[in-house]
Amino acid sequence: MAKQLESIEIIPGENGGHRVVHNFKREMGKKGGAMSGGVYMERPKADEHIFGKSEDGKVLPHVGKALGLKEDGE
């Protein structure tokens, strides 16, 4: 199952750049075994992208693509 996006954080960096964090929805898992078996919910690891100060123009297109937004004219 593909990871489903839950939220995106944009954090300003001290150097003028930005850190973009993609957080994903929890997924159901199942473990076997008598003592520790059963169904559980697990959050996939977040994806982090670092944009330096010179890459400011790449932040919003990156976020838009992650959210499934279309560019003007499409």
- Cβ distance 66 to 60 under 8 Å? no
Mean pLDDT of the region 1-30 = 91
pTM: 0.75
Which residue in the block uniquely carries the two structure tokens 């929890």? Answer: 26
Confidence of residue 42 (pLDDT cuts 50, 70, 90): confident
Reading phi first (left if > 0) and then psi (alpha if -120 to 50, else beta), residue 22 is in beta
Q: 20-37: per-residue pLDDT in tens? A: 999 999 988 777 766 666
What is the rounded average pLDDT of the residues 31-45?
Answer: 76
